[in-house]
């Protein structure tokens, strides 16, 4: 994977306006870049490459720093690599003229992986586990049911696609406008307002990788096209049938006050129950755990989930996984 800078070099390259919010990390940390036709996929890794590999995938509009507080608490004999999806964190933006499709993220996982691996992932990792089942030894889903099925009503589906197209065209019309520069505090407050589940400390951690220092303040790194959230058009029945392809042992951790809270007003209600039942009935090795906390429990309160993850990772280590 090439030469990787040490922790001190990484900290030296951080925007100086954000260094005050950095956290100490245990063990060796390195920065990686994987070349792709449109630029590169950025990643950061903890531990020795000789350790058992765990690929860590962030959620929508987050970045690899979402694992900063969790990974130092995990077993030290693993090699943890967290990638920034295209258009997020320090990864290159996709070519002009195209929205971000969910399968784009799945293809990026394949570009940076080789051989079998153990994985701690979110939704893209579940889809990857169905398409490349032989490459995944273990799958850990935190605040994810693996899939986000298309709306059941045809009008809702059509409206969602219309919004994606119109948003893309609107962004292209304004592409020559310079990115908005915000003070560090303004950038943080805007992030917290858009993500009510983030604590202030967690917001600062994400901004370390999600913003770049420029004269006058910070600009967000993410590609605005990623905001269109272009879902793939999979029916609930298709998602359920895909689960039969997963060969990995699966651990699903859901937060009591997360985005799948029964009282939350969102579209997830119609698929939560059938997907959980499908995981339970179709997989040989499936574990479900409900914990206190919200959608960012792994970042806000990693101690809540670390015990579950440690036990799951340590169980049956006979796999010869490698990255």
Residue 274 near residue 282, CB atoms below 8 Å: no
Q: 126, 144, 202, 249: which is the annotated catalytic residue?
A: 126
- CA 187/CA 62 separation, integer angstroms: 14
**Cα Rg for the chain, rounded, in angstroms?**
19
What is the CA 18 to chain-centroid distance, rounded? 22
Q: How many CA atoms lie within 13 A of 252 on its CB side?
A: 22
- CA 212/CA 226 separation, integer angstroms: 18
- CA 213/CA 168 separation, integer angstroms: 26
Q: Which residue has the tokens 């990390």?
A: 25
Residue 143 near residue 259, CB atoms below 8 Å: yes
Active site residue 126: yes
Residue 250 near residue 289, CB atoms below 8 Å: no
| Positions marked active-site | 126
């Amino acid at each position: 994977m090439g030469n990787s800078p040490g922790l001190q070099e990484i900290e030296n390259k951080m925007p100086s306006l954000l260094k005050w919010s950095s956290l100490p990390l245990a063990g060796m940390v390195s920065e990686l870049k994987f070349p792709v036709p449109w630029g590169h996929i950025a990643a950061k890794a903890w531990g020795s490459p000789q350790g058992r590999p765990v690929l860590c995938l962030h959620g929508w509009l987050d970045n690899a720093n979402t694992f900063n507080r969790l990974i130092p608490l995990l077993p030290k004999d693993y090699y943890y690599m967290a990638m920034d999806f295209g258009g997020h964190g320090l990864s290159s933006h996709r070519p002009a003229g195209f929205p971000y499709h969910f399968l784009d993220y799945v293809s990026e996982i394949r570009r940076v992986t080789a051989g079998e691996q153990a994985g701690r992932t979110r939704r893209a990792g579940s889809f990857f586990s169905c398409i490349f089942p032989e490459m995944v030894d273990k799958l850990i889903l935190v605040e994810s049911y693996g899939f986000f099925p298309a709306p059941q009503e045809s009008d809702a589906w059509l409206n969602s696609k219309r919004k994606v197209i119109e948003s893309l065209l609107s962004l292209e019309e304004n592409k020559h406008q310079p990115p908005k520069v915000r003070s560090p505090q303004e950038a943080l407050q805007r992030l917290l307002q858009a993500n009510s589940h983030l604590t202030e400390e967690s917001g600062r951690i994400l901004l370390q990788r999600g913003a770049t220092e420029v004269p006058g303040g910070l600009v967000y790194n993410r590609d605005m096209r990623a905001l269109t959230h272009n879902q793939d058009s999979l029916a609930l029945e298709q998602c359920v049938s895909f689960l039969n392809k997963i060969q990995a042992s699966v651990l699903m951790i859901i937060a009591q006050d997360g985005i799948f809270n029964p009282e939350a007003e969102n579209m997830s209600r119609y698929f939560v129950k059938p997907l959980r039942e499908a995981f339970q009935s179709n997989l040989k090795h499936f574990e479900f755990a409900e914990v206190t906390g919200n959608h960012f429990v792994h970042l806000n309160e990693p101690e809540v989930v670390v015990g579950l993850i440690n036990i799951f990772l340590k169980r049956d280590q006979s796999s010869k996984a490698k990255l």
